[in-house]
Amino acid sequence: MAFQGKKLINNPDDVVTEFIEGLVETYPGLQYLDGFPEVKVVIRADASGATYDKVAVISGGGSGHEPAHAGFVGEGMLTASICGDVFASPSVDSILAGIRAVTGPMGCLLIVMNYTGDRLNFGLAAEQARSEGYKIEMVIVGDDCALPPLLGIAGRRGLAGTIFVNKIAGAAAAAGLSLADVAAEAKRASQMVGTMGVALSVCTLPGQVTSDRLGPGKMELGLGIHGEPGAAVADLQPVDVVVSHVLKQILSSETNYVPITRGNRVVLMINGLGATPVMELMIAAGKTVPKLQLEFGLAVERVYTGSFMTSLDMAGFSISIMKADQTLLQRLDAPTKAPHWPVGSAGNRPPAKIPVPLPPSRSTKSEESLSRPLQLSEQGRILEAAIEAAVNAVIVMRDSLNDWDSKVGDGDCGSTMYSGATAILDDMKKYYPLNDAAETVNEIGSSVRRAMGGTSGVLYNIFSKAAYARLKANSDSTVTAKQWAEAFEAAIDAVSKYGGASAGYRTLLDALIPALSVLKEVI
């Protein structure tokens, strides 16, 4: 059953112009031509056709794919973006207005996605601009790998791989290359990239109803970014399976969509389609890279993950793979002020994972701290006796504590405390450094962390660690009663700080705080 889609918009007819207004307010380096609603063109604020001394690079198409292409306008990338209505090609007048606004004596390159409307309108605008004396070249991008290679007149559709072409052309233009050379680099890049996507939902156009074409438990392979049906509908599969299917399709030696073979260097784009959480995109990226490396024998030089060319609120993602060489990598790494081009890691990638850093442990401490001291000092004997008395009292009270806890909670307080007490007693016999009070308190915390679960285990561990930190600050080997009281107070303060309770909240603090008061009175 179809239903009205929810959108945070005003008039559906104004979504593109209002989007552009918000974009230029957000990024001061951008401007738009004052020709709404017919002319919707975003340009670089520092690029004027009368004085611009580099090749202008212009792309565009229907809106609804944001941030493409307006979000990629900026020094080092696009000079202007021509915005059509939602999923509609921009008009010839808009394209001409953009050309006239930013094209100087070096000429203009138009990068056009392979859709009939875009090809015709950009083509007519290019012919008109040439008749006005502008130098114009046009490169058409068809990176779709979902449909059969031979499609007669229409050919393969332009998808997210176009963003790579935009960046490479923009960097070449920023480097001062001629129009012919910029166009050659863009054309070469367009022939090196392949894209295929998977959708979990159908997008909703502003003011329209939401289609239920897919139905529950289904996904669409080889989607179209304008809401058109994909190449196939299949049962929803784990992302591992989806990624494997997409990669095999893009890199198929039978179809030869892209000239990528084992041993090549490649760059990868995981592109969200509008409603896909970052978590899911990162999962897809994390599964794609090792498959490209291990199964296809490719060196993955760059990974770009995010939403670059969307389809309104569609859930799903596309994968773009481009064959790379050093020149292409330099173009991708070249600086740009385009607000939505991602910062990619450039070369010499560190290992993806490193060992977890371990805290100083019993295995790294001195021999003296590995076991109970052979000879206890007077302080050590007193500390041992105090610990034994405390833990034995807890052990004896296990059943009573469980009984009391069952009246207000889940009845496991005694068992939890018993586990901690017996662990302390066992560990003390083996390796507590009893002659060192601070380290002994620290080891009590380690025993509690290992043996006790739930909130109480964490709180008692915090208690021990805070007391240890205060005792460790003392330089004297002998701990005085006053220093024990200070450590006790620091431990209580830590439990209150991290647990959020204080006196009167009916927590363990209601026993510890009075105990501290009595201790202070007798020392």
118 is in an annotated binding site: yes
Q: For residues 142 and 41, give the distance between their C-alpha atoms in angstroms, rounded to a whole number.
A: 23
CA pseudo-torsion sign 415, 421, 424, 428: negative
Say if CB 341 and CB 72 are below 8 A apart.
yes
Q: For residues 390 and 396, give the distance between their C-alpha atoms in angstroms, rounded to a whole number.
A: 10
347 is in an annotated binding site: no
**Distances 489 to 16, 380, 503 between C-alpha atoms, Å:** 62, 22, 13
To the query of whether residue 226 is one of the catalytic residues in this protein, the response is yes
Angle between helices 454-472 and 413-431 (to 10 degrees): 40
Residue 326 identity (one-letter amino acid): Q
493 is in an annotated binding site: no
Three-state DSSP class for 455?
A: helix
Starting at the earlier edge strand, list the strands of the sheet with 108-113: 30-32, 41-44, 80-86, 56-63, 108-113, 136-141
Q: For residues 429 and 286, give the distance between their C-alpha atoms in angstroms, rounded to a whole number.
A: 47
Residues 6 or more apart in contact with residue 420 via CB below 8 angstroms: 394, 447, 448, 451, 452, 457, 460
Q: Quote the distance between the C-alpha of residue 47 and its chain's center.
A: 33
500 is in an annotated binding site: no
Residues 6 or more apart in contact with residue 340 via CB below 8 angstroms: 67, 71, 72, 308
65 is in an annotated binding site: yes
Q: For residues 191 and 143, give the distance between their C-alpha atoms in angstroms, rounded to a whole number.
A: 8
Q: Looking at the annotation, which residues are catalytic?
A: 226
Point out the annotated binding site. 62-65, 118
Point out the annotated binding site for substrate. 62-65, 118
